[in-house]
Amino acid sequence: MQDKIVIVIQARMSSSRLPGKVMLPVWGKSLLMRMVERVQRTQYPVTIVVATSTDASDDVVENEAYAHGIPCYRGSLNNLLERHYLAARQYGAHVVLKIPSDCPLIDPAVIDATLDLFYEQPGHYDYVSNLHPATWPDGNDVEVMTMTCLERAYYEATHSWELEHTTPYIWEHPEHFRTGNLEWSTGLDLSMTHRFTIDYPEDYDFIVQVYKKLHPLKPAFSCNDILQLLEDRPKIYEINAGYAGVNWYRNHLSDLKTISADQTKVLP
C-alpha cells in the first residue's frame, strides 16, 4: 500500500507580531495561497491541508482555503500539536509533513529532498527534517514524520512549548524516535544569515520584492534564484537582514536540550 502523504500548513490570523500575515497580498494572491502554490510543486503525490483554529478570526482562513479547493481543518487555537495531529488523522495520513505558513518562499525541491531521505530506507525513520541542524535559508522548513510518531507526541507531550510548536517532543527525545536530518548538498549554512520567512513587517516587504523581481519571469523560482537576486541586488537582502537568525528558540534555550545559543539570536 502506498503511503498517503499529508502536508499540514498551520495558519491563523492572530499572529502576535504581524497579525493577519497569512492573508497579506503577494502579487495578486494571499501570502497563504502563494505558499500553497509553491508546496503544490512537490514531485510527490500529496494532500495539502490548511489547519487553522476555531476562533472566529480564522473564518477568513477557512474561506480562503475552500475558495482555492484546499481542504481545511479547524481546531485548537494554541495547541498546535493537537491541531496538527487531528488534521492529519481526519485526512487519513500515513506520513505527515509540517510546513509552517510563515514559509511562503519555500523551495519545493527542499520538500522533495527531505522526503527522498525519509524514503531512502523504507521504515528506517520515524522523523526526518532539515532543521536539526538547519542549513538552508530560514523559511525552507520541512519536517516529515510517520503518523505513529506524531500520535505518540500527541499523547505524551505535556509542556506548553511542546504543544505550541508541534514537534519538539519528537526531536528532544531521540531515545523514543529514529530521527534523521537533511543537510544542504551545497555544504553551505545560511540558516542564520538569510531570512526567507515572515514574522515582521520587514519580512513582508522582503517577500514582496522577491516576488516582484522573480515571479513575472519565472513563477516557479527556486531558492538559488532568490540567492542570486540578493547577490545582484543587495538592497533587497538588507530589508530584513536585521532579523536573520531570530526564531522561537531564543525564548526556550533553558528548555531545549538539543538547541544551542548559536542557533538563535535576540531581537535587534
How far apart, in whole angstroms, are the C-alpha atoms of residue 232 and residue 142? 28
- Furthest-apart CA atoms within the chain: distance in Å: 50
Convert the pLDDT of each residue in 129-158 to its tens digit.
Answer: 999 999 999 999 999 999 999 999 999 999
pLDDT at 44 over 90: yes
* 150 lies in some domain: yes
pLDDT at 71 over 60: yes
**What per-residue confidence (pLDDT) applies to 2?**
87
Mean pLDDT, range 89-114, rounded to an integer: 97
Q: Mean pLDDT for the chain?
A: 96
How far apart, in whole angstroms, are the C-alpha atoms of residue 7 and residue 224? 23
Return the C-alpha cell found at 256: 531545549
How far apart, in whole angstroms, are the C-alpha atoms of residue 101 and residue 83? 14
Taking each helix axis as running N to C, give the angle between helix 223-232 and helix 201-214, from 0 to 180 degrees, rounded to the nearest 10: 100
* 211 lies in some domain: no
Give the burial class of 167: count Cβ atoms within 10 A of its Cβ; 0-12 exposed, 13-18 middle, 19 or more buried: buried
| Domain extent for 21 | 5-181
* 203 lies in some domain: no
Where are the strands (E) in the chain, listed by range?
A: 5-10, 25-26, 29-30, 46-53, 72-75, 95-98, 127-129, 143-146, 179-181
Phi-psi region of 127 (alpha: psi -120 to 50; beta: other; left: phi over 0): beta
How far apart, in whole angstroms, are the C-alpha atoms of residue 171 and residue 112? 21
Give me the percent of the chain exceeding a pLDDT of 70: 100
pLDDT at 29 over 90: yes
The CATH number of whichever domain residue 70 belongs to comes to 3.90.550.10
**Side by side, which strands form the sheet with 143-146?**
72-75, 46-53, 5-10, 95-98, 143-146, 127-129, 179-181
Tally of structural domains, the chain: 1
* 204 lies in some domain: no
* 128 lies in some domain: yes
pLDDT at 184 over 70: yes
**What per-residue confidence (pLDDT) applies to 13?**
96
Amino acid in the structure at residue 241: A
* 195 lies in some domain: no
Mean pLDDT, range 76-102, rounded to an integer: 97
* 62 lies in some domain: yes
Look at residues 204, 237, 203 and name the one whose alpha carbon lies nearest to residue 27: 204
* 256 lies in some domain: no
